[in-house]
């Protein structure tokens, strides 16, 4: 490291660095780009007057209690900044998806059919009740249209009433 680099790091003039080096090593020449090894550079830097730097000579020795107080005050000052930067984690309430009324009708009838062991008979009983209560022959309409009876009930908008009927007769 040369004297110019040391002067830049220490924040003082090159003449001051050269004068201090002459005081430390009086028999040595520091003209031109005299380079110092790391040990010599550190020795020179310790002896240089530094600008805008705190040294132990002008502040006295800090005790552990002094350092603890400084750390404590710094942390207390930073707590509001930290609290502002922390965004609360939003916990979304995940709601279970609602079951479609058509699926609810199928679930009610299939449970009743499973319990009785007669799937066709259970569906026929539901369609018979729908015929007498709502005056719709869903089975015959489905047969004429080449579709299923539950599709006819859904197309006509009678699924909610069919669910009510199924609950009444099967539950």
Give the residue extent of every domain in the chain: 3-55, 101-170
Strand partners, 35: 2
Please name the helix (run of DSSP H) or strand (run of DSSP E) that holds residue 124, with its range, or none.
helix 119-134
Average pLDDT over residues 40-65: 63
Give the pLDDT band of residue 53 (cuts 50, 70, 90).
very low
Give the pLDDT band of residue 58 (cuts 50, 70, 90).
very low
pLDDT beyond 80 at 16: yes
Please report, rounded to a whole number, the percentage of residues in the chain having pLDDT higher than 90.
Answer: 43
Give the pLDDT band of residue 54 (cuts 50, 70, 90).
very low
Please report, rounded to a whole number, the percentage of residues in the chain having pLDDT higher than 70.
Answer: 88
pLDDT beyond 60 at 51: no
Interior CA angle at 100 toward 94 and 106, to 5°?
130
From CA 16, how far away is CA 44, in angstroms rounded? 11
Strand partners, 2: 35
pLDDT tens column, 128-162? 999 999 999 999 999 999 999 999 999 999 999 99
Give the pLDDT band of residue 114 (cuts 50, 70, 90).
very high
Range scoring the smallest mean pLDDT among 21-30, 56-65, 107-116, 120-129: 56-65
55 in Cβ contact with 23 (< 8 Å): no
102 in Cβ contact with 150 (< 8 Å): yes
Please give the pLDDT value at position 55: 45
How many CB atoms sit inside 10 A of residue 160's CB? 13
Please give the pLDDT value at position 57: 44
Please give the pLDDT value at position 50: 60
Question: 61 versus 147: which is more confidently predicted?
Answer: 147
């Amino acid at each position: 490291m040369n004297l110019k680099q040391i002067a830049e790091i220490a924040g003082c003039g090159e003449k001051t660095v050269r004068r201090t080096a002459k005081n430390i090593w009086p028999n040595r020449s520091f003209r031109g780009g005299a380079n110092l090894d790391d040990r010599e550079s550190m020795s020179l830097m310790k002896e240089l007057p530094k600008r805008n730097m705190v040294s132990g000579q002008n502040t006295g020795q800090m005790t552990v209690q002094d350092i603890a107080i400084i750390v404590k005050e710094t942390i207390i000052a930073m707590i509001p900044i930290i609290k502002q930067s922390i965004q609360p984690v939003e916990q979304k309430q995940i709601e279970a998806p609602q079951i479609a009324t058509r699926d609810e009708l199928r679930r009610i009838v299939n449970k009743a059919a499973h319990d009785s062991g007669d799937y066709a008979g259970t569906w026929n009983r539901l369609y018979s009740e729908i015929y007498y209560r709502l005056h719709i022959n869903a089975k015959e309409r489905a047969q004429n249209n080449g579709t299923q009876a539950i599709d006819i009930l859904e197309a006509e908008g009678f699924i909610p009433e069919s669910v009510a009927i199924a609950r009444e007769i099967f539950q």
